[in-house]
Structures are given as structure tokens and as C-alpha cells.
């Protein structure tokens, strides 16, 4: 199974849980990035990796036309269903972000990618974005920075999960394991801010700015259980959880709850402030 097919399957099988468990976590990051993008009335905006349409819905009334693209059709169906009745000037399209096939040259003023590029090849996707942007068009993107294995609660959940998964796996669960065991091209190519600047410049962007920071703190009001819902909503983790015996599933939850306790305040709310790379640039005139 090719990498692109595995990625599509991952999001296709995550789609049923995305809007309830994942979107609430992604929404504040998307809103913060959109503020930085300073969308102008009349802008044609491309949302890459639109998922269930978080960015698209946030942009309603701010942009002239909005295009949302994603590799997974179930995500796009949900995105369409969540648009307010009578919404105009919004189009959703299934396509590969690496090529943005189906989009013409110089058709957009702004491209936004809020955690929509991490499974792409950076050189290919940046060239594709440069192709569809008009000269002077702007790119704004954000992707997760490196995990701190001991200080990031996502890593703690995944490491705890690994202690309880069954040894044998077949079918898609095995393919997800193989997929996650291999470093992504994005992570090997873009390890620091200088790598982002270099890749964007080579793709035809100028005025490139890159930051590595913790711009958003997500507070999980329901504490550990809500954070576990977020991490375990992703298809690979969900499949591993479902394959466990009831006793192992219970033991995993107990161990994860204990290990995540230091991230909670006195009221039980869990605070998460992940590292994020943000990059922006202007398509050469």
C-alpha cells in the first residue's frame, strides 16, 4: 500500500470521530493562524487539508471565495454538511495536496494549511502551492514541532498505549503500524526554522517568515478523559485500543490517567501547550 493510500485511509477511518473529539482541539490553533493571515474581502482562499472544514467555516464572511481540499472524501462530506444553509462561494474538492491536481495555475490569493501538510513531501507540496497562488499570493501554514517524549502528553499516551497493544496485527492495523514506524518526509526534511526557509525559497517564495513557538494553550475542561478522547480518536490508536482485551484496555486507561496527572491543575483540567512551526511567505511576483 502506497504512503498516500495509507494517509487517505487514516483520515477516512478517523472521520467519524473527528468533529467531536479532534476538531475542538484544532479550532483554537486554526483561529489563531487565520488572525495572522489577515484575510481581505474578495480574497480567494485555499484551505489545504480542510478536514471537516474548520478553517472554511471560520472564514465565512471574511473572504470572497473559499476552496477546501482534502484527500479523504468522508471528511469532505462532513465539511459540506456543516456549512450553514444557503452558504455561497465555498467549494470542496478531493485531491492530493502534493500536487493540488484539479486546481488551475494562479487561481488563489491566499493558501492556508493548518496541520494539513505534515503527511506531504515538503518540496512537492510547496511547489504545488506556489503554482496555484497568484504572483504576490500569500501562504500561511502551521505544523507540529518535535515531540518532547517526556513533556508532551501525546507522546505519553502513545508510549503507554504501546505497552498494552497486541503483538500481532493484520490488515490496516498492521499497515498503520508500518506507516507510523517510518519517519515522515516532512519531519526529516524540515527539522528547524532554517529548513523551512530554505524549502520555501526553493519553491518560489519570498519574504519568508518562520517561527517555532507555543502560540496556543488548549485547556481540556474534562481533564484526562477528554485528552484521551482526542488522542485515541485517530484511527491507528483507535484500532489498537479496540483490539485489546477488556482487561488490557482498562489497565491502559488506568496507567495513562496516572501518567497524565501532572498535566492537570487543581481542578482537574488538563493544560496542553504544544510546540508549533508557523511559516508564511509570498509567491514571487
CATH number of the domain that residue 259 is part of: 3.40.50.150
Q: What is the pLDDT of residues 100-147, one digit of tens each?
A: 998 999 999 999 999 999 999 999 999 999 999 999 999 999 999 988
Question: What is the total count of domains within the chain?
Answer: 1
Q: Are 45 and 33 in contact (CB under 8 A)?
A: no
For the beta sheet containing 65-70, the strands, ordered from the edge strand earlier in sequence to the opposite edge, are: 90-94, 65-70, 44-48, 108-114, 133-144, 276-283, 205-213
Q: What is the pLDDT of residues 20-71, one digit of tens each?
A: 999 999 999 999 999 999 999 999 999 999 999 999 999 999 999 999 999 9
* Residue 43 structural domain: 3-283
pTM, 2 dp: 0.95
Would the CA dihedral through 114, 116, 122, 124 be positive or negative? negative
Q: Which of 234, 181, 278, 186 is nearest to 75 (CA)?
A: 234
Amino acid at each position: 500500500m502506497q504512503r498516500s493510500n495509507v494517509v487517505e485511509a487514516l483520515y477516512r477511518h478517523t472521520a467519524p470521530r473527528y468533529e467531536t473529539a479532534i476538531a475542538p482541539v484544532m479550532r483554537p490553533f486554526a483561529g489563531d493562524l487565520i488572525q495572522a493571515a489577515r484575510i481581505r474581502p474578495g480574497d480567494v482562499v485555499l484551505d489545504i487539508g480542510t478536514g471537516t472544514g474548520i478553517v472554511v467555516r471560520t472564514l465565512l464572511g471574511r473572504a470572497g471565495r473559499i476552496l477546501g481540499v482534502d484527500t479523504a472524501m468522508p471528511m469532505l462530506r462532513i465539511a459540506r454538511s456543516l456549512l450553514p444553509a444557503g452558504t455561497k462561494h465555498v467549494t470542496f474538492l478531493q485531491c492530493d495536496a502534493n500536487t493540488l491536481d484539479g486546481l488551475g495555475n494562479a487561481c488563489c490569493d491566499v493558501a492556508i494549511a493548518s496541520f494539513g501538510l505534515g503527511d506531504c513531501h515538503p518540496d512537492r507540496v510547496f511547489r504545488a502551492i506556489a503554482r496555484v497562488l497568484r504572483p504576490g499570493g500569500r501562504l500561511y501554514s502551521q505544523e507540529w514541532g518535535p515531540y518532547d517524549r517526556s513533556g508532551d502528553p501525546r507522546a505519553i499516551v502513545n508510549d503507554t498505549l504501546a505497552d498494552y497493544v497486541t503483538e500481532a496485527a493484520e490488515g490496516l492495523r498492521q499497515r498503520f503500524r508500518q506507516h507510523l514506524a517510518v519517519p515522515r518526509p516532512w519531519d526529516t526534511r524540515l527539522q528547524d526554522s532554517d529548513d523551512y526557509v530554505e524549502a520555501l525559497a526553493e519553491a518560489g517564495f519570498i519574504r519568508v517568515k518562520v517561527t517555532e513557538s507555543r502560540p496556543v494553550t488548549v485547556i481540556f475542561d474534562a481533564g484526562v478523559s477528554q485528552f484521551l478522547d482526542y488522542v485515541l480518536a485517530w484511527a491507528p490508536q483507535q484500532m489498537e485500543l479496540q483490539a485489546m482485551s477488556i482487561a488490557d484496555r482498562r489497565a491502559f486507561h488506568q496507567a495513562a490517567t496516572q501518567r497524565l496527572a501532572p498535566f492537570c491543575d487543581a481542578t482537574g483540567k488538563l493544560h496542553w501547550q504544544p510546540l508549533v512551526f508557523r511559516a508564511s511567505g509570498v509567491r514571487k511576483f
